Amino acid sequence: MTKTTTQIEAELFAVLEDMKRDLRCRYRYEPRFKSILTEMRIAGLEVTDRLLDLELRLTEEAVEAQFDNMPV
């Protein structure tokens, strides 16, 4: 089933709100966020530079968190 623009936007706003509530661990939302951006692209919606920047930062934070949790 294809999602409507309204549904995709609602998911985007929801994940952004979740990230705001959990700033220290927002990288945990990276897979969900990337999935929403993919849905936006497929639906022909504009993925703004601001969203692309956030995608990059979340990826960097997720990688950094992996290294922070590695045993030494």
Long-range contacts, stretch 45-53, CB < 8 angstroms, 24+ apart:
45/5, 45/8, 45/9
Query: pLDDT band at residue 69, thresholds of 50, 70 and 90?
Result: low
pLDDT of residue 65: 86
Structural domain that includes position 10: 5-68
Domain tally, the chain: 1
Q: Among 18, 30, 24, 21, which Cα is nearest to 57's?
A: 30
Which tens digits make up the pLDDT trace of 16-66? 999 999 999 999 999 999 999 999 999 999 999 999 999 999 999 999 888
